[in-house]
Amino acid sequence: MTDTIATAVDIGITPLTGYTGAEVTGVDATAPQSAETIAALRAALLKYKVIFLRDQRLDYASQVAFAQRFGELTLGHPLYGGPEGKPLLREMDSKGEGTRANHWHTDLTYLERPPAFAFLHNVVCPPVGGDTIWANTAVGYANLPAELRDLADRLRIVHSNDADFTDDTYDGDSRTNYLMHQFEAEHPAVRVHEETGERSLLLGGFARRVHGFSPQAGRDLIRVLHEYATKPEFTARWKWRADDLVIWDNQATLHYAVYDYHGQHRRGERVTVGGPVPVGVDGRPGVVLRGDTSAFAAGLTR
């Protein structure tokens, strides 16, 4: 089945599952794209939350140029920036050791302005394993029981870089270095998407506690919401090949990088589009509690 979003331009958009993800064909991200093509891709991204493009032989310049069509780019990382000469890039390189992302998370939710969209280009993938799973948190929210949805609309969650994600996915040295700088932000548990007006759950491994609740009660609330958000029915799983480009809406997804490749080399390169401050159902925005990462989302597009 090809989606009707693509009828205005010569590309194909094929849904992967009933709720989440679509594969895009007919787009060469290394070449200049018309405004009509970018609009079709953006519409698919907002609808399906994550889109997949095969055979995209991107270098740093072409990846940045393509991603910039979706908005101003951030630095590669709020603490480390990017590699020398590539300030907007985040390298995700693992040979089975060190930093991994095998924990459900939304990128950088401990910032005041988590990224809006992420563009991950796969450079090296293991022969077996290393898939990534995305969960559609808008569908997760819509399928909450009415009483739980009403409660979630009023909750505020504190996100920190000292959290389950860093406990589980960083080795001792990198975790120590990472936590030399403490960052926390309080965000609504349910955010209203700036473009679509859709409501989605804002959760993940950086979610630490719930404002106004005891530590144990807060953990229980986060766990219950998380279980609804990551039901298999609401997910899509992608088996990577070299030169795949995956784009996801970081405002309405969680993702999990499966660690089952047993020391094999896995490497991706990510750039991100700056996002707005999350705003809740009541109109209240997220707020910074600790740390200053304003430079990360300052619209650097070099």
Rounded to the nearest 10°, the torsion over CA 169, 80, 53, 18 is 50
Catalytic-residue membership of 105: yes
Does 265 qualify as catalytic in the annotation? no
Give the C-alpha separation, 103 to 84, whole Å.
28
- Select from 90, 264, 79 the least CA-distant residue to 175: 79
CB 203, CB 226: distance < 8 Å: yes
**Are the beta carbons of 259 and 126 closer than 8 angstroms?**
no
In the sheet with 207-210, reading across from the earlier edge strand, the strands are: 207-210, 156-160, 184-188, 287-290
Amino acid at 171: D
Is 270 catalytic? The answer is yes
107 tagged catalytic: yes
Q: Which of 105, 149, 209, 266 is catalytic?
A: 105
Q: Which of 149, 226, 255, 266 is catalytic?
A: 255
Which one from 42, 103, 107, 187 is the annotated catalytic residue? Answer: 107
| Residues identified as active-site | 105, 107, 255, 270
